[in-house]
Structure 1
Amino acid sequence: MIRSSVSNCPVPTDQQPLNEYEELKSSWLFRDATLDWRKYITKLAWIWGLSWLIAGPIAAASFPPHKYIAHFMLCGGAGASVGLVLILVRLYLGWFYVCDRLCSPTVFYEESGWYDGQTWTKPQEVLNRDRLIVSYEIKPILRRLQFTFAGLAGMYVTGTIVWHLF
């Protein structure tokens, strides 16, 4: 973990925005959003494929594959995408939370429990450092996730159009 450069920072180490960022960046789920595009898409494809284990039987119960293969595939694909969307929402919310904490000129923290919340105003040097991290590290991740959501929305629209053609 990176320690704040300000020695008089009263915020507990695990609640400092920079340390929250480092922890998020190294956690098993959230680091997937930082991978290069090919590995990122591969991970998403694996999640979507594993979601078929749940969506496939449900789609097969509604649209037997031997009779309605197109409807089965579209329904199963859309159902499997639900698992993918849930993972992506979790990724987006986690990265957005850290982004918000780093961008904010003040840091809300708790010393020992929910009842003793305090606020610390960041010195300008810390605020500048944190905002640089947001600009160069976190904003691209958030844009990637937004682009992924847009791609999924496009696939849903395309699937809906194809559904009505059959």
Structure 2
Amino acid sequence: MSNPTSFCPVPKEQQPINEYQELQSSWFFGWVKLAPGKYITKLLWVGIWSLIATAPLAAASFPIAKYPIQFGICAIGGSSIFVALATVRLYLGWIYVKNRLYGESIFYEESGWYDGQNWLKTPEILTRDRLLVSYEIQPILKRIQTTFLTLLATMVSVIGYWVIIY
């Protein structure tokens, strides 16, 4: 049996299956494929490093000795914005590959931005790509969405608490 991608005119680096493999092996985008504890740890590290950046800003607005609760809310709130941005970036990368895999055709560039082409996938490649989306990428997207919704709920709770104390 021949390799179904052997007659594909799309350059190797622009084939969705190769984009998927590159994404899952990358340092940042591979986080989502880690065990839940390790994934959360990675996001917590983003939060800790961004807390280091946001704490001085929060301290400038709310001195720690005078307003400890407000300082904490501002510092953690600012830090969670960075975690949310990282989560959005994860989502955008994975949704791009999902759309490329799920589509019936592949847009690719032969030699530059000015000469793009569309290639209609063969039924074998389309089936393989859609199975990959169903069994590999959909759970990843679900995890990222859950992460983002958890962050959003936390932010809303913190804002609600802020409103109550003022």
TM range (shorter): over 0.9
Deviation at 1:131, TM superposition (A): 0.5
1:26 matched to 2:25? The reply is yes
SS in 2 for 1:61: helix
Deviation at 1:86, TM superposition (A): 1.4
Q: Deviations over 1:98-125 (max 9, x none)?
A: 0000000000000100111011000011
Deviation at 1:7, TM superposition (A): 1.8
Q: Deviations over 1:41-86 (max 9, x none)?
A: 1111111000011110000000111111111111100100111111
**Cα distance in 2 for residues equivalent to 1:109 and 1:102:** 13
**Cα distance in 2 for residues equivalent to 1:126 and 1:78:** 45
Match of 1:162 in 2: 161
**Cα distance in 2 for residues equivalent to 1:45 and 1:157:** 19
Q: TM-score, normalised by structure 1?
A: 0.96
Match of 1:53 in 2: 52
Match of 1:13 in 2: 12
% identity of equivalent residues: 52
**Cα distance in 1 for residues equivalent to 2:29 and 2:159:** 31
* Residue correspondence of structure 1 range 7-156 to structure 2 within 5 A: 7-156=6-155
Amino acid at match of 1:145: I
**Cα distance in 1 for residues equivalent to 2:147 and 2:137:** 15
**Cα distance in 2 for residues equivalent to 1:89 and 1:109:** 25
Q: How many residues end up aligned between the 2 structures?
A: 163
**Cα distance in 2 for residues equivalent to 1:51 and 1:70:** 19
Structure 1 residues not aligned, in runs of 5+ = none
**Cα distance in 1 for residues equivalent to 2:160 and 2:117:** 53
**Cα distance in 2 for residues equivalent to 1:68 and 1:165:** 15
Structure 2 residues not aligned, in runs of 5+ = none
